[in-house]
Structure 1
Amino acid sequence: MAKHNELGKQGEKLAIDFLIKNGYTIRERNYRFNKAEVDIIASKKEVLAIVEVKTRSTNVFGNPEDFVKPKQIQNLVKAVNEYVIENDLDLEVRFDIIAITKSNVGFDIEHLENAFYHF
C-alpha cells in the first residue's frame, strides 16, 4: 500500500478514536453513494456529524482542511441526504472536518465543527 494511503487509514483510525473519546457514536465508516464517500458518520445527542478526515504529513502546502473542494462538498451533501432518507433520521446534520497533521511527537488533531456546510 502506498505511504499516503497508509497515512490516510491511520488518520481515519485516529479520528474515530478521537470522536469516541469525545462522546460520539460511530454510525458508519466509508459510506458510499454514487461518486461520494463519507469518511465517518457519527452522532452525539441530536446531531448527525458528517466527518471528512484530512491527514497530511506536513502542512507546508496548506492545512489539511484546505483540501476539501467544492465538488467534493456537493457530492457529500447528496450522499448525506440519501443516508438521512434511507435511515429515516430526524437529526440536525452538521459537516465537520477532522484535520490531522503529523508532527515530531505524533499527530496534531483539530476538529472543525460546521466546517463547510450547514443545513
Structure 2
Amino acid sequence: MAEHNDTGRLAEQLAADWLVGRGYELLDQNYRHGYAEIDLIMKHKGILIFVEVKFRSGTGFGFAEEFVDSTKKRLLVKAADYYIYEIDWKKDIRFDIIGVYRDKAGTVNFRHFEDAFY
C-alpha cells in the first residue's frame, strides 16, 4: 500500500477515536459502494453521520474542507443513499468533514465541520 494510503488510514482511525471520545458511536469504516467510499459512518444523538476524513500536514495548500469537491460529494451521497437503504434508516442524517492536521512538531489537531454539505 502506498504511503499516502497508510497516512489516510491512520488519519481515519485518529478521527474515529476522536469522535468516539466525544460520544459518537462508530458503525462502519471504509464503507464502499460502487466508486465511492465513506470513511466513517457514525451515530450521535439519533443522527446517522457520514464522515469524510482529510489529512493535511499543514494548511499551506488549503484546508481539508476545500478538498471535498462536487464530484466527491455526489459519490458520498450516492453511497450514503445505498447504506440508508441497506439498514432501513428512517431518521435524520448528516454529512461531516473532519480535517486531521499534523504540525511540524508532530502534534495532531482536528477541525470538525458538522453538516458540511448536502
TM-score of the superposition, structure 1-length normalised?
A: 0.93
Partner of 1:95: 95
Partner of 2:115: 114
CA distance in 2, matches of 1:101, 1:2: 19
CA distance in 2, matches of 1:102, 1:45: 29
Partner of 2:53: 53
Letter in 1 for 2:101: T
User: How high is the sequence identity, in percent, across the aligned residues?
Assistant: 42
- Per-residue CA deviation, residues 62-87 of structure 1 (Å, 9 max, x unaligned), is 01111101011001101101111110
How far is the alpha carbon of 1:105 from its aligned partner?
4.3
Partner of 1:77: 77
Secondary structure at 2:39's aligned position in 1? strand
How far is the alpha carbon of 1:108 from its aligned partner?
1.2
Secondary structure at 2:54's aligned position in 1? strand
Secondary structure at 1:53's aligned position in 2? strand
Secondary structure at 1:71's aligned position in 2? helix
Secondary structure at 2:49's aligned position in 1? strand
Aligned length: 117
Secondary structure at 1:22's aligned position in 2? coil
Secondary structure at 1:116's aligned position in 2? coil
CA distance in 2, matches of 1:45, 1:58: 32
| 4+ aligned runs moved over 4 Å, structure 1 | none
Secondary structure at 1:55's aligned position in 2? strand
CA distance in 1, matches of 2:81, 2:9: 25
Contact 1:96 1:111 in 2 (8 A): yes
CA distance in 1, matches of 2:2, 2:34: 25
Give 5+ residue unaligned stretches, structure 2. Answer: none
Contact 1:7 1:56 in 2 (8 A): no
